[in-house]
Structure 1
Amino acid sequence: MHKHYIIYKPYGYLSQFASNASKQQSKKFLGDLHEFPEGIMAIGRLDEKSEGLLLLTTDGKMSDFINSQKVEKEYYAQVNGDITEEAIEQLKTGVEIGFEGKKYQTKSCEVFKLQEAPNLPIRSKKIRDDRHGPTSWISITLNEGKFRQVRKMTSAVGFPTLRLVRVRVGRIFLNTMEVGDVIEVFRLEC
């Protein structure tokens, strides 16, 4: 019987369970949040500075399906500056980013500016305050997931990401989960 979990990955954690590298002794791993069963894997990843919804499973077929381009992933990104409609349109149609040493054109995606900051838990590491200029929030929904893609996309249009939170994978939402929450579920329905 496969095991499945929905977690709120905190800022500063790696989307892995352990490391053999001694230089990473000070790093935090998902296994520090909960005692997971053997064979558990993260479905997709969130980099160390990103937070939010992360799905875990012991089912490789489920992992492959959710990682496929058939399942949408939605992120809220707090960006540096008051993002323009022109920048949002560029993000929607796709921008050129670097990936594995080559240029990559992102696919079209859904993007819109949030009218107010989302109701998210306070991040463990403080984000700069408004004395350093305005920030704005966008929702961006992708069907692909290249390494640090959202961060690279917002930088490409001149509005670097300050905070990135995945809020949805398919039909599974972060909702009112708190940072570090781990919920075991009978199955993942994306």
Structure 2
Amino acid sequence: MSRLILFNKPYGVLSQFTDANGRPTLKDYIPAEGVYPAGRLDRDSEGLLLLTDDGRLQQRIAHPRNKLEKTYWVQVEGAPSDADLAPLHRGITLKDGPTRPAKVKIIEPPDLWPRNPPVRYRKRVPDTWLEIRISEGRNRQVRRMTAAIGFPTLRLVRVKIGRWRLGKLQPGEWLEMEV
């Protein structure tokens, strides 16, 4: 049996077990030996990170050719219209090439834990929550996509990878399952 850990990565934590600069890492939260992240989540992003001790499963989850869908709740600066979001639906070209089409919709603000530090609030600038589903995972891709259409990301929380969901896990909590 393979081990699989579902972890709610807090803001500011690196998706690795060591850091020469002493920043918070996975080892500060997960005492399990012999598991490794299946993919990454940026230091300034939050939410679901999967870890496993099975190299094949890790490859199946993380490798772009497998097109495993990832779902993000993204708070953006501004109020995008459907027309503003249309380029994401078609796929846009970033510096490292075209993206696959994304599934994007405006959602009500989700019931999430407070972020520490909080997202800066600006009285005169609205913000909007989006649900973005992509089947690739380039470096900072979602942030670059929203910036490319003129709506910078303020907060990004990954809530689902393939069939695995964040569920009720709070930041820093993890759940181990056998697969």
TM-score, normalisation: structure 2: 0.94
Identity of aligned residues (%): 40
Amino acid at match of 2:53: T
Partner of 2:99: 106
Give 2:87's match in structure 1, choosing from 62, 73, 90.
90
Which structure 2 residues correspond to residues 139-150 of structure 1 after superposition, within 5 A?
139-150=131-142
State the 1:130 CA deviation.
Answer: 4.1
The answer as to 2:26 corresponding to 1:57 is no
The aligned counterpart of 1:30 is 26
Following superposition, which runs of at least 4 residues in structure 1 exceed 2 angstroms of deviation?
A: none
Deviations 1:10-35 (A, max 9, x none): 0000000013x3xx12x110110121
Partners of 2:102 and 2:26 in 1: CA distance: 29
Distance 1:98 1:147 in 2: 11
- Residue 16 of structure 1 is matched in structure 2 by 16
Task: Give the whole-Å Cα distance in 2 for the aligned partners of 1:29 and 1:113.
Answer: 32
- Letter in structure 2 aligned against 1:131: K
- 2:6 aligned with 1:6: yes
- C-alpha displacement of 1:49: 0.2
Specify every segment of 5 or more residues in structure 1 that has no aligned partner in the other structure, as ranges.
none
Encode CA deviations 1:111-147: one digit per residue, 9 max, x unaligned. 1111x10111111111112414100010111110000
State how far apart, in whole Å, the 2-side matches of 1:3 and 1:121 are: 27
- RMSD across aligned positions (CA): 1.2
Q: Map 1:60-71; keep pairs closer than 5 Å.
A: 60-68=55-63, 69-71=66-68
Q: Distance in 2 between matches of 1:62 and 1:117?
A: 33
**Matches of 2:3 and 2:33 in 1, distance apart?**
8
TM-score (structure 1 length as normaliser): 0.89
| 2:177 aligned partner | 185
Residue 135 of structure 1 corresponds to 127
Indicate the larger mover: 150-159 or 178-187.
Answer: 178-187
Q: Matches of 1:36 and 1:113 in 2, distance apart?
A: 37
